[in-house]
Structure 1
Amino acid sequence: MEKRDIEVLIVEDDLRIAEIQKRFIEQIEGFQAVGIAAGYVDAITLIEILKPDLLLLDVYFPDMNGLELLRELKLQSKQTDVIMITATREIEKVQEAISIGVFDYIIKPLVFERFKQSLLRYQDYHEKLSQLGKGNHVITQQQVDKLLRKETTELNNDKSYLPKGIDPLTLEKVMEVIGKGGAGLTAESVANEIGVSRTTARRYLEHLVSIEKIEADLTYGSVGRPERVYMSIG
């Protein structure tokens, strides 16, 4: 039996950003964007009709708060998971989203590598859950730990286990450069320092952000264009 794609509903009032998310989804095997909702009525209607596996949800809309929609879905026991994608950075909002039960929280501007990592982790979770659900009504502690990604976290901290395209020696070089970078370095600066392409440097940097080894922020250059900068945590 052929495995079906994970169905994703985009809930975003900025249609330009929604289209970017849709194009990103199209580049990741195993996912399908099934619709775009720009507000509360659209979101509730499409969730009811399409019953998507996953929502990509912003926080602020003209007619609703995304966290209130998330809370409403949880109260209704909707079998839909949520990844927040938002410019909202207030710690209270992040804590609220986590406490309600989001799968992930991604801060805009959306970077493809970070987005892809999140969706692939969700795909792994979804597949494990589907396998466990076949004929089972109870699960073991080990199976619970796998669903909660405890083993994945341990593996991410183990240099012997790295995602495809991430070399441990290059990763160490990137971490060393960031450690000396003080207020923060761009992907281009890191690329020049270790002798790789900007795209390669960004891939390593976003991997380190995803496993919380470094952090990222935005800065504005002389022409006002935002740049993503990376720095050591703490």
Structure 2
Amino acid sequence: MYSIGAIDDEPLIIKFHELYTDKVDGYVWKGSANTLSSGKEMILNKKLDLLLLDIYLDHENGLQLLQFIRNENIDLDVILITSANDMESITLGKRYGAIDFLVKPFTFERFKEALERYQSFQKLAKPLNQQTEIDQLFHDQRLEGHLPRDLPKGITKETAIRVLHAFNDCTSWLTTAQLSDQTQISHVSLRKYLRFFSETGLLSKEVIYKASGRPLQQYQLTSKGEEIKQNGFI
């Protein structure tokens, strides 16, 4: 589980941050602050993995706190979530190491994508990463050409790629339970992606009817999916 907190001077925005975070697997909400001083106290006293930081804080600038975090070598990743979309703010945010930049108002899907992208890049912290694993994290854009430009509601690019990666080293059928364990995606959310990939022709589905209990559903890459796999796209 990743610990997450937020700094924003709008109570309603903080509430949405917390509600949205609760809907994304793998995160625990640790609290919020509404000024730079209280925000600094929060990040120094609470062990956070990820911070949602506003830039416009009344008469203060959140980028100053981001610069402080970097200057003090605090082990904390930051996503800037703000109405500031000027080039100077974007450039400074990137220079100070912000891992993502969301402009208000944003959708839950974009928020979820940012949090899932963060989880994906945390895999780089594992020891003994292979080149192929690193390539998957940095070059997933190679797969984007095989995904529709406008994804259906509730389907995000980052999660879609994570589901396909589960088939990377597999040559047999995978059940929904096995895929859920590998991807750390809930069964309810996973079914949407499996249905989506079945409809787009990347996965084939097989239903096994048992004497008792629910039918067992399992999935495998189609020839189209295998072609993408062989070309190093997943």
The two structures have a TM-score, normalised by structure 2, of: 0.61
Match of 2:115 among 113, 116, 119: 119
Identity within the alignment, %? 27
Q: Which amino acid aligns with 1:73?
A: I
Q: Is the Cα–Cα contact under 8 Å of residues 39 and 63 in structure 1 kept in the other structure?
A: no
For residues 173-188 of structure 1, the aligned pairs below 5 Å read 174=150
Q: Is the Cα–Cα contact under 8 Å of residues 55 and 61 in structure 2 kept in the other structure?
A: yes
Give the structure 2 partner of residue 131 of structure 1: 126
Give the structure 1 partner of residue 38 of structure 2: 42
Give the structure 2 partner of residue 31 of structure 1: 27
Larger radius of gyration: 2
Deviations 1:108-134 (A, max 9, x none): 1121000001101101112x13423xx
> Structure 1: 5+ residue runs without aligned partners?
160-167, 176-199, 209-234
Give the structure 2 partner of residue 20 of structure 1: 16
Give the structure 2 partner of residue 92 of structure 1: 88
Which structure is richer in relative contact order (CA contacts within 8 A, separation 6 or more)? Answer: 2
CA–CA distance in structure 1, aligned partners of residues 125 and 55 of structure 2: 29
Q: Which amino acid aligns with 2:48?
A: P
Q: How far did 1:68 drift? A: 1.1
SS of match in other structure, 1:77: coil
Aligned residues: 159
Q: Is the Cα–Cα contact under 8 Å of residues 59 and 65 in structure 1 kept in the other structure?
A: yes
Give the structure 1 partner of residue 103 of structure 2: 107
Q: Is the Cα–Cα contact under 8 Å of residues 124 and 134 in structure 2 kept in the other structure?
A: no
Q: Which amino acid aligns with 1:32?
A: V
CA–CA distance in structure 1, aligned partners of residues 51 and 14 of structure 2: 12
CA–CA distance in structure 1, aligned partners of residues 59 and 76 of structure 2: 21
CA–CA distance in structure 2, aligned partners of residues 63 and 77 of structure 1: 26
Give the structure 2 partner of residue 79 of structure 1: 75
CA–CA distance in structure 2, aligned partners of residues 94 and 88 of structure 1: 8
Closer, same or farther: CA 27–150 of 1 in aligned 2, 3 Å? same
Q: Which amino acid aligns with 1:150?
A: F
Give the structure 1 partner of residue 55 of structure 2: 59
SS of match in other structure, 1:96: helix
Q: Which amino acid aligns with 2:124?
A: L
CA–CA distance in structure 2, aligned partners of residues 140 and 47 of structure 1: 33
> Structure 2: 5+ residue runs without aligned partners?
159-234
**CA RMSD of superposed structures (Å):** 2.6
Deviations 1:181-231 (A, max 9, x none): xxxxxxxxxxxxxxxxxxx4x556x759xxxxxxxxxxxxxxxxxxxxxxx
The two structures have a TM-score, normalised by structure 1, of: 0.61
Give the structure 2 partner of residue 212 of structure 1: none
CA–CA distance in structure 2, aligned partners of residues 47 and 80 of structure 1: 8
Q: How far did 1:91 drift? A: 1.3
